[in-house]
Amino acid sequence: MIEFDRVTKRYADGSPAVADVSFTVPSHKTVVLVGSSGSGKTTLLRMVNRMVDPTSGRVLIDDVDVTTMDPVRLRRSIGYVLQSGGLLPHRTVVENIAIVPRLNGATRPDARERALTMLDTVGLDRDLASRFPAQLSGGQQQRVGVARALASDPNILLMDEPFGAVDPIVRRSLQHELRELQRTLGKTILFVTHDIDEALALADEIIIVAAHGAIAQRGTPTEILTRPANAFVAEFVGVDRPERRLRLADAAGVEVVTDASGRPIGTLER
Ligand SMILES: Nc1ncnc2c1ncn2[C@@H]1O[C@H](COP(=O)(O)OP(=O)(O)OP(=O)(O)O)[C@@H](O)[C@H]1O
């Protein structure tokens, strides 16, 4: 379990990026922080692997305060996926993935074998192993980023807008694959996005973050969608958007689901 205990972060310029924030991420669950730009999501995420230390308050992993842990070892023990992929441009795909196992002491052949296995895990062809990142599509680069984060078999995965830079169709398939992967891996995932639909698609629990990390609501996707706690959440979730207000229509004996403007979305299975 990851626990944020009354954390505040003030950067040098003064006003707090996050102020007195507390929440937990249960083990083996996916918790998605969703909120508008500048609300402090990335700051919160980076407190877990000590890329940012809180000005006050504590972050605990399984009851141990992370500030008592060596930051380098901590970072190697936690998977981290960024929007930009963060791949080293002059290293091949397999080298990029093998980096953390190597740093953790695996031999070169073992690290390479592990990296190839991770390519399988994230659904990439092993033929891509000797390519450089620039020779991959955006979606493939993000898969390599996920493979690298998983390569040392961390318990915790931090994901900061990992699918933000790919087109909507690839994005949906990456979300689907992450869900499938999580079903078998059961990692503790803290995921940051500003896209509420991504949060609804991925989360066991969603935390809606307002200014300075203030938690506007925490709940399952169904709870957030059906019982928004206040006007801020309702607006953020877009409960009044046409695609949220589905209706049933009859089309020659088939039940068709439409949005509020009558546009067909799919058919109803009973
Ligand atoms: N290194 C830094 N130095 C000074 N201020 C910072 C630093 N990093 C973040 N901030 C400020 O802290 C606030 C929260 O930023 P943060 O990146 O955590 O938000 P976010 O919710 O992740 O935003 P986004 O969705 O745009 O990434 C912002 O006002 C930002 O300008």
Same domain? For 9 and 63 the reply is yes
The protein residue with its alpha carbon nearest to ligand 1, atom 12, reads 17
Torsion of CA 143, 145, 151, 152, to 10 degrees: -150
- CA–centroid distance, residue 30 to ligand 1 (Å): 22
**Chain centroid to CA 43: how far?**
14
Same domain as 88, residue 195: yes
Q: Do residues 59 and 85 both lie within one domain?
A: yes
154 and 217 belong to one structural domain: yes
Cα distance between residue 204 and residue 221, in whole Å: 7
What is the pLDDT at residue 167? 85
**227 shares its domain with 252:** no
ipTM over 0.95: no
Q: Do 246 and 217 sit in the same domain of this protein? A: no
Domain that holds residue 213: 2-240
Taking a C-beta distance cutoff of 8 angstroms, is the pair 257, 267 a contact? yes
Q: What is the count of structural domains for the chain?
A: 2
Neighbour-count burial of 15, counting CB atoms closer than 10 A to its CB (0-12 exposed, 13-18 middle, 19+ buried): exposed
For 208-267, what is each residue's pLDDT tens digit?
999 999 999 999 999 999 999 999 999 999 988 888 889 999 888 899 999 888 889 899
CATH number at residue 78: 3.40.50.300
Same domain? 91 vs 187? yes
| CA of residue 82 to ligand 1 center, whole Å | 15
49-66: per-residue pLDDT in tens?
999 999 999 999 999 999
